[in-house]
Amino acid sequence: MEEFIVEVTAENAQQVLIEESMKRPVLVDVWADWCEPCKQLMPVLEKLAAEYAGQFLLAKLNADTEQALAGQLGVRSLPTVMLLKEGQPVDGFAGVQSEKEIRDMLDKYLPKTWDLQFQQAQKLVGEGELDQALPLLRQAYGDSGERADIAKQYAAVLLEKNRAKEAEEVLSKILMADQDADYQQLMAQLELKQAAAESPEIKALQQALVENPDDNESAYKLAIQLSQAERQEEALEILLKLLRKDLGFADGAAKQAFLDIVKTLGAGDPVATTYQRKLMTLMF
């Protein structure tokens, strides 16, 4: 059942009120044609059902045509609204309430936005769609107050994308109480990624810059090597310093490399956003 709103009858009551409430909350609105407060309330409930887009099911029960069913639910006045979960009433009210009051009641029982984002991201990860999962995990991680289970999944995807520095930052914020076997495994993967990222070419170019910080050619080559090793933030920082010295370095190749890395990170990526802003400041 994918509907947002259904009419409850004796024929479908078992499916709607019991079976469906095992999958998601069911908000039962008991009403009648002659009930003026019912007519005030129903549009508000319908609006919320459409807005929440299936997170709960609005089940409308006409007390006149389904008197026996209304009696079984213990309805004594109209309108009566009850929220069912797993076949049992968990909340509700009689009479008319404001949209805010109803929304507050629903939000106590519905998944949070970040839970839905996390679930969607996990599905994408399972399908191998890491690029699509990453922005969802980033959003869920921030909105949830850096919840540990989301943090670990976020770090795992960052590591798969060879973004070890960002993964390290995420993992460093996980509290000791949440540093379980999954966390330890992620830390081990992080150490391996960090070791693998230090190629002989990168080490040589880093040494060349230590010996001569003004060696712009080595700086440019190091940025390219770091980018190829998926160390995008480090690459962007080096290129930004280079562009501050010479905006047209290598006939614009350094600027183009900078823009290519930002594009690779994707729209909405915080690293991309930060460095886009820094480049705009430099240019204008």
Q: Which residues carry out catalysis?
A: 35, 38
DSSP 8-state symbol, 200: H
Give the Å distances, CA to CA, from 154 to 137, 193, 197, 265, 275: 6, 16, 20, 15, 21
Nearest to 60 by CA among 22, 52, 73, 101: 73
* Cis status of the peptide bond prior to 25, with omega within 30 of 0: no
Q: Are 166 and 176 in contact (CB under 8 A)?
A: no
Q: Are 60 and 49 in contact (CB under 8 A)?
A: no
As separate numbers, helices (DSSP H) first and strands (DSSP E) second, the chain gives 14, 5
Q: To which H or E segment does residue 260 belong?
A: helix 253-265
Tokens of 124: 């994408």
